[in-house]
Amino acid sequence: MATWATIQTRLQGLLAPAVVLRLGAASGELDALPAQEQRLVDGAVAQRQAQFAAGRMLARDALIALGEASQPLLKHRDGSPMWPRGVCGSLTHTRDVAAAVVARRHDFLSIGIDIEASRRFPLEATDTVLTPAEQLWADSDTRRLRVFCAKEAIYKCLAPLGWPDLDFRDVELHWQHDLFTATSTASAGCRPPQLVALRGRCARLGDHTAAFAFIAAPASG
Ligand SMILES: CC(C)(COP(=O)(O)OP(=O)(O)OC[C@H]1O[C@@H](n2cnc3c(N)ncnc32)[C@H](O)[C@@H]1OP(=O)(O)O)[C@@H](O)C(=O)NCCC(=O)NCCS
């Protein structure tokens, strides 16, 4: 079985060089975090603390690779991480794996990542998550999970730009192999103009699916 390091290298190779990805087991040591970060998960169950710690450690490693000083990564009231000035990023964790992506805001306005473990996609969630056109395309649990994963990455990319109310059915995905773009649906209550510039890609990592969403900074093309 591939190691997390091998998977990180493979995924990093799919991303623009300006994006730093760190990926590893979702089992971090809370004690290894600065006290301000530990306080963010005071009273949480052990699994959540371990995932949180793994995400924070990976994020710190990614930020250092980007040239940032090591510092506590606190969070906004909505739960999104407080990235250092001039940096954007995103975190995700499942029971097994955690990952962080970061980039300079002069390269990307925002980025989002999501990873989901393979599972049956719950039938009752189909209409909530997928538009009718997406339901035609997504004729398997694998594809339905891909759509879900991509939309979670899109949410994490757009919420920090001022779109916290974006709903799954506000957005429709258009696929070309593993790459996707997105448009607002006719019934969308929320229409972020940045959606036009959003680009994404999905990748399989063993029994997980990963999705990345990016909005390039205007000057960087
Ligand atoms: C916030 C949300 C996207 C998190 O995704 P998730 O699959 O449940 O969990 P993940 O492990 O992948 O991600 C959790 C991380 O997301 C980040 N996060 C939380 N809220 C966030 C927000 N508002 N904006 C950006 N990132 C956020 C945090 O870093 C969090 O990890 P941490 O608490 O350890 O720092 C999800 O719970 C949610 O609310 N989804 C509904 C909204 C949505 O996706 N709409 C689709 C629009 S197309």
pTM of the model: 0.97
**Ligand 1 binding pocket mutation candidate from 156, 171, 181, 215 (most atoms within 8 A of CB):** 156
For residue 215, pLDDT over 80 is answered with yes
Task: Kindly give the distance from the C-alpha atom of residue 93 to the centroid of ligand 1, in angstroms, as a whole number.
Answer: 10
Task: Kindly give the distance from the C-alpha atom of residue 67 to the centroid of ligand 1, in angstroms, as a whole number.
Answer: 25
Residue 57's pLDDT is 98
Region of 86 (left: φ > 0; alpha: ψ -120 to 50; beta: rest) is left
How many angstroms separate the CA atoms of 142 and 148, rounded?
Answer: 10
Task: Kindly give the distance from the C-alpha atom of residue 108 to the centroid of ligand 1, in angstroms, as a whole number.
Answer: 19
For residue 1, pLDDT over 70 is answered with no
The distance of Cα 192 from the centroid of its chain, to the nearest Å, equals: 18
Residue 206's pLDDT is 86
Query: Considering only CA atoms, which residue is closest to atom 12 of ligand 1?
Result: 92
Nearest to 180 by CA among 157, 159, 155, 199: 199
Residue 30's pLDDT is 97
Query: Considering only CA atoms, which residue is closest to atom 28 of ligand 1?
Result: 80
| Number of compact structural domains in the chain | 1
Banded model confidence at residue 220, pLDDT cuts 50, 70, 90: low
Query: Considering only CA atoms, which residue is closest to atom 40 of ligand 1?
Result: 152
136-147: per-residue pLDDT in tens?
A: 999 999 999 999
How many angstroms separate the CA atoms of 214 and 17, rounded?
Answer: 13
For 119-143, give the DSSP string: -PPPGGGHHHH--HHHHHH--SHHH
Token pair 């957005």 is at which residue? 171
Q: Judge whether 94 and 208 are in contact, CB under 8 Å.
A: yes
Token pair 């990976």 is at which residue? 58
195-206: per-residue pLDDT in tens?
A: 999 999 999 988
The parent domain of residue 129 ranges over: 4-220
Q: Judge whether 198 and 173 are in contact, CB under 8 Å.
A: no
Atom of ligand 1 nearest to the CA of 157: 25
How many angstroms separate the CA atoms of 174 and 198, rounded?
Answer: 12
Task: Kindly give the distance from the C-alpha atom of residue 29 to the centroid of ligand 1, in angstroms, as a whole number.
Answer: 21
Banded model confidence at residue 153, pLDDT cuts 50, 70, 90: very high
CATH number of residue 99's parent domain: 3.90.470.20
For residue 173, pLDDT over 90 is answered with yes
23-65: per-residue pLDDT in tens?
A: 999 999 999 999 999 999 999 999 999 999 999 999 999 999 9
